[in-house]
Structures are given as C-alpha cells and as structure tokens.
Structure 1
Amino acid sequence: MSTTPSIPASVVPGGESAFSRDEYAERVRRARLNLQQAGIDVMVVTGPENIFYLTGQQTPGYYTFQALVLPVEGDPVFVIRQLEYFNFISNTFISDAAIYTDGDEPVGFLVDVIQRKGWAGKRIAIDKRGWFLPIAVYEALQGKLGTIHDGAGLVEKLRAVKSPAEIAKLEKAASYTDAGLRAGQAAVKVGASENDFVAAMLQAAVAAGSEYFGMEPLVSCGPRSGIPHGTWRRRKIAQGEPAFLEMAASHDRYHAALMRSAWIGQPPQAAIDMEKVCQDALQAALDALKPGEPCEASHNACQAVIDRAGYTDAFKKRTGYSVGISFAPDWGEGSILSLYKGVTTPLQPGMAFHIPPALRIYGEFTVGVSETVVITETGYRVLGTVPREMLIL
C-alpha cells in the first residue's frame, strides 16, 4: 500500500464536490438502511455512477480499479489508484483512502483492506449490475473471501428518485442540450456534413457549460439516418434529404437528452405521417406520467398511438428510460428504470426520464422527437425548450 501523500494547501477536501457534505451523508445513511434490510454487512461499490452518487468522486480514469467499501457500521474506505488521489480529495469528503500503486494487484489490495478492517467474515456484497466489474475481478474476490452476495439495485433504487439539488443539475444539463440542439439545427444546410452538425452541437453545448458526455451525439443524414444509433461519418446532406439529431449534455455528471428531426425541402408524405405519429405518441406518453401510476402506463399509452397508426412493426422498444448520473458508455440510467411493458414500479415525484419515440423506414430515414422530463406532484415537467416540430428548411 502506498503511503498517503500530504495534501497541498491548494487542494481543498471536497472543494470541487458536486454536492454538500450533508447531501452525501444522507445518501450514505439511506444506502446503509438498504444494506441492513438486505442482510448485508459490507458493500463493495464499484460502478462509477454509484460511487459518484455516494461520494462525489468522478474521474475519466474509472477504467482502472476503484471501489468504495461501505460498512453498515463504521467509516467507509475508498480504494483508489495513486494517480487519482488528489482528484479524489478534491471531489469527496471521505477521510480514509487506501491507495494502491500501478505495481499492486488491485483485487488482492482490496482483499487486504477488507481483512485489515475485520470485515472478511462478514456478509459482503458487490454491485454486480454495473458496466465495469469484470468477471475475473468478481471470481477473484469470491476465491479470496468466499461468497460474495449480490448488491445490485441497493444503491440504484436510491438514484431513481432525484433530490431537489439533483433536479437543479438536470435543469442545467437540459439548458446545455438545448444550446447544442439549436446549433445542430442551424448547421443543417445543403452541402454541410454530419461532422459539421456535430461540431456545431458540441461547441455550443460545451460553450454553454457542459462537461464531457456519457455518450456521443447520435447524428446522421440522408439514407444513413434510417439506421438506428447511427453516428456521424462525414456524409454531406443534399437537397430533399433528412437529418437526425440526438444528444445529451452534462452538468456535474447529470445528463439531459433531446432528439429532433430536420429535412431540407419538402419531406415525403410517409415521413410527415410518421413524424405526426411520433409527436402524438410523445404527448400520450407524457400525459400518462402521473405519480402512483406504473412505469408501463406511459409506454402503453405511447404504443397505443403507434399501433392505431399501423406502425407497430416499426416500434419495438421501450418508450423511455431514467436519466441522471452517467459516465461513458451511456447517457441514460436505463438499467435503473424503464418505461416499458411489464415495469410496474410506481412513478414518484423526482423521477426523471428521457422519452424518445422514433419511427423509421430502414435505410431511408428516421423521424422522431423527445423530451427529458421530471415527475412532479401532479404530473410532469419538461426540462427542454426546443420546439418539437420537424425543422423543414
């Protein structure tokens, strides 16, 4: 284990934290209640989103091992790479860091920390649902500590309902996304390339205040726009062609997303019809967002509009997904909560969703429209301000 370095006066503990010490303390308190109810003594938190939620630690270096070791009783310990230490100090209010060097084996290092703290004989869980827990790491922990229990969802269920401070960050992110989308729309001109659209979107969103994004913008034009999740590849748009623009921007790792469509010249009737159905489906999905209603109610309302219009085969996905804290490779929290059939979790004030109904003729075009919304005491509130109508140039 590396010796804890002395902290320069210019590095203030918690000086760059996204939230107050009290906000984190309340989150940790609630997380510990969940651990107790699940019969867990110690939680090893590895997902960067869950780590950020509980501590404020954020770094693009989550590709190296990091873990918050959270006991039900006693102080937590943060296991962190030496290079990340001062960033950790700036972002968090945690006093106990176990620092490993690039010459250490991180899993063995973590086990040593657990053993030194006297936790080896306890019921230990890990958040197995995240992107960044390799099977080899999980198996190595089991081999050294015995049974490792499943802690998936214990922190995520807390993240589903945002505090007022979190909603304020979503509002900021939405304003950056608005700036990016408007700039992208303004860049759609004959002869401009997909790269031109994205360059305008990124410049405007970052200039407005955005940090790095959880996922790249989804932007394409012409026939390429008819492929789901297409990304920009230098293609230039011509007269009579569509452009598809979708992005999310970030404020303190909180993301708000937005999707809009554009067309140079008169769109074909099929695109006009599909766009109207998307608009109507979005509004139906929004109107079904009421506290106490199940998540699937919004999806069912959206799907009903699409089915009545005869586009069932073109819409085989969830209507929306939770948004909040995100690190690459995603801008959403879809693993926490989805608006989809069979999801009966009741909606609560403070939940936030991106709702992006889209329809396409594969290999020809996609049209769609979306909003990021927060559930309120009486329904929902839209965070964006960009007009929903297809931009026809």
Structure 2
Amino acid sequence: MALHFERSEFDARRDRLMIEIAEKKLDAVLLFAQESMYWLTGYDTFGFCFFQCLVVKADGSMILLTRSADLRQARHTSIIDNIVLWTDRDGANPAIDLRNLLNDLDLLGARIGVEYDTHGLTAYNGRRLDEQLQTFGQIADASGIVNRLRLFKSPAEIAKVEKAANLADDALDAAMPLIKQGGDEALILAAMQGAIFAGGGDYPANEFIIGSGVDALLCRYKAGRRKLSKNDQLTLEWAGVFHHYHAAMM
C-alpha cells in the first residue's frame, strides 16, 4: 500500500472526527472533498471530478462509493476496506446508489451531515443528492468539519511541510541561474518543477505562475511563454510539495 503515514496517525484522525460527529449529534457524515478523504484515509486520486463519497458513521466505520476506475486506486493508497462501486453509464444517477448504500447501512431516518462546500460535489450532483435524501433522513450541512480538524497539524504532518519548504528552496535555487537577459520562461519553469521532482516531491495543486514584462503583474497562470528582456520584471509563484503538503512561495 502507498500510505504516507503510520496507521496510528489515521486512527487518531478518525477518532478526532468521531468526536466532532458526536458533538454535532450526527449519525454519519458524507465526505465529498478529496482533501478530506486524503487526510482521513490516505485515498489519493484526481477522480473527484466524478461523483464519489466517503461515508463515515458515528462508530468510525467508513465506506467509499466510487467508480470502478478508482477501485484499485483506493485499495492501493488508502486504509479503506469497504468500497462500493456505482456504474458510470449513460443516464446513471449515483445519488440513487448512495441513497441505497445509506439504507443498507441502516441510516434511514438518521441525522446525516453532508460536506456541501467542496468542488468534489458539483451543484448538479448536489441537487441530485438533495432529491434523494430529502425524505430519507435529517440532513445537515457538515461543510468545514474536516477542514477545521486539518488546521491542527501533527508532528508527522509538520515534517512533511518542512520537507515541502526545502523543496521550494531547491526550486528557487534551480531557477536563479536562468533568470537573465534571454532567459526562457519555459526553461525556468522546467528547472523549478524538475528540482521538486528530483527531491521526491509532487505536482502542486495549482500550476506554477510565471510572468515577465507586461505579464509580470498577472496573478494567475496563463498559457504561453516568452524570453526575458534586459530590464524585465519577473514574478514567480510556486510551491514545494511533498506528499501533497505544500509550502507556497512568491
């Protein structure tokens, strides 16, 4: 398994979430944010662009509903034992599959928290979810529960952030010799990302931002590269990343 923390670390995170669930008098929470699933179980995928949900009951048991394409991903990268698949075909409504799963888990009539505020649950899927659950039980907005827990980093997490910060420094060191008249933005970006990969790091959650000349004051990534002129201002925004823990720099 490709886990980046000890099992005891994941157990401690689950226990903290169980306390929150109990304090809010919930019987279960439905997690849709990929970062919540990664923090809680190690599950590492960009398949959140499709419907998937991690059901966490008050007793700490966890069940993942996802597509077949992510079955092996979930088994290989997470501590999740119980994985249920929905079939992605024309006209499919995975919210129905989720309702059926919740029924199988004896949650009919229960008080269920939903992690609505996330890109992992589109407005379209959120509406379909509400349609299925409006008469199923008592639904509460549980957005932010895991986010707040994630604010308090364990020693193991802090070590990963420190590693990410070192990688961010390596990226800047790789860029500096290339920042000169005639320097190519493409080569600067390649050197920075290459230094992070060479150091054992990962892709960032956001593209590196580079801008020179008239583009120097842009604060978003855009397509296209140029070569530096003698008196150009150059703006760089990047992040060192290690096991998805970021140290953002500017």
Same fold, TM exceeding 0.5?
yes
- Larger mean CA deviation between 125-134 and 23-32 belongs to 125-134
Q: Choose which of 123, 133, 136 in structure 2 pairs with 1:135.
A: 123
Tell me, in whole angstroms, the C-alpha distance in 2 between the residues paired with 1:188 and 1:74. Answer: 52
By how many angstroms is 1:232 displaced? 6.1
**Deviation, structure 1 residue 229:** 2.6
SS of residue paired to 1:62: helix
Q: Note closer, same or farther for the CA distance 1:205–1:105 as it changes in structure 2 (3 Å cut).
A: same
| Structure 1: distance between partners of 2:85 and 2:172 | 42
Distance 2:120 2:79 in 1: 24
Structure 1 residue 233, shift from structure 2 partner: 2.4
1:86 aligns with 2:77: no
Tell me which residue corresponds to 1:119: 107
Structure 2 counterpart of 1:100: 86
Residue deviations 1:12-41 (CA, integer Å, cap 9, x gap): xxx211211111111111111111111211
The secondary structure found in structure 1 opposite 2:238 is strand
In the alignment, is residue 244 of structure 1 matched against residue 235 of structure 2? yes
Tell me if the contact between 1:221 and 1:237 (Cα under 8 Å) persists in the aligned partners.
Answer: yes
Q: In terms of Rg, which structure is larger? A: 1
Report how far residue 230 of structure 1 moved.
Answer: 4.8
Once residues 15 and 70 of structure 2 are traced to their aligned partners in structure 1, the CA distance between those partners, rounded to angstroms, is: 26
Q: Normalized against structure 1, the TM-score is what?
A: 0.60
- Partners of 1:152 and 1:74 in 2: CA distance: 18
Q: How much identity, in percent, do the aligned residues show?
A: 30
Mapped contact 1:39–1:123 kept (Cα < 8 A): yes
Deviation by residue 1:333-374 (Cα, 9 ceiling, x = unmatched): xxxxxxxxxxxxxxxxxxxxxxxxxxxxxxxxxxxxxxxxxx
**Contact 1:80–1:97 (CA under 8 A) maintained in structure 2:** yes
SS in structure 1 of the partner of residue 145 of structure 2: coil
Residues 181, 77 of structure 1: alpha-carbon distance in 2 compared, 3 angstrom cutoff: same
CA contact (8 A) 1:41 1:124 kept: yes
C-alpha spacing 1:38/1:231, structure 2 compared with 1 (3 Å): same
Counterpart check, 1:110 vs 2:98: yes
Distance between the aligned counterparts of 1:56 and 1:230, measured in 2? Answer: 29
TM-score, structure 2 as length reference:
0.92
Partner amino acid for 1:52? Y
- Which residue in 2 is equivalent to 1:308? none
Q: Distance in 2 between matches of 1:48 and 1:72?
A: 20
User: CA, structure 1 residues 212+227, in 2 after alignment: closer, same or farther (shift >3 Å)?
Assistant: closer
Q: How does 1:136-285 map to 2 (within 5 A)?
A: 136-146=124-134, 147-231=138-222, 233-259=224-250
| Partner deviation per Cα, 1:116-135 (whole Å, 9 max, x = no partner) | 11112101111122122112
Kindly state the Cα deviation for residue 187 of structure 1 after the two structures are TM-superposed: 1.2
For residues 182 and 213 of structure 1, the distance between their equivalents in structure 2, rounded to whole angstroms, comes to 18
- 5+ residue gaps, structure 2: none
> Counterpart of 1:306?
none
Q: Counterparts of 1:213 and 1:228 in 2: how far apart (Å)? A: 16
Could you give the per-residue CA deviations for residues 280-334 of structure 1, whole angstroms, max 9, x where no partner exists? xxxxxxxxxxxxxxxxxxxxxxxxxxxxxxxxxxxxxxxxxxxxxxxxxxxxxxx
CA contact (8 A) 2:38 2:44 kept: yes
Residues 217-253 of structure 1: per-residue CA shift (max 9 Å, x gap): 1111112102233546212111112111120132111
Residue 12 of structure 2 corresponds to residue 26 of structure 1: yes
Three-state SS of the structure 2 residue aligned to 1:152 is: coil
2: CA distance, partners of 1:183 / 1:232: 22
The runs of at least 4 aligned residues of structure 1 exceeding 4 Å deviation read: none
* Secondary structure of the corresponding residue to residue 59 of structure 2: coil
Provide the C-alpha distance between the structure 2 equivalents of 1:206 and 1:121, rounded to a whole number of angstroms. Answer: 49
Residue 110 of structure 1 deviates from its aligned partner by 1.0
Deviations 1:165-189 (A, max 9, x none): 1011111111221111111222112
SS of match in other structure, 2:216: helix
Higher helix share: 2
Equivalence for 1:311:
none
Given that 2:3 and 2:78 are in contact with CA atoms closer than 8 Å, whether structure 1 keeps it comes out as yes
Q: What is the distance in 1 between the residues matched to 2:241 and 2:93?
A: 33
Runs of at least 5 residues in structure 1 that lack an aligned partner in the other structure: 1-14, 260-393
* Structure 2 counterpart of 1:20, one-letter code: E
Q: Could you tell me whether the CA contact under 8 Å between 2:170 and 2:196 is conserved in 1?
A: yes
| 2:42 counterpart letter in structure 1 | G
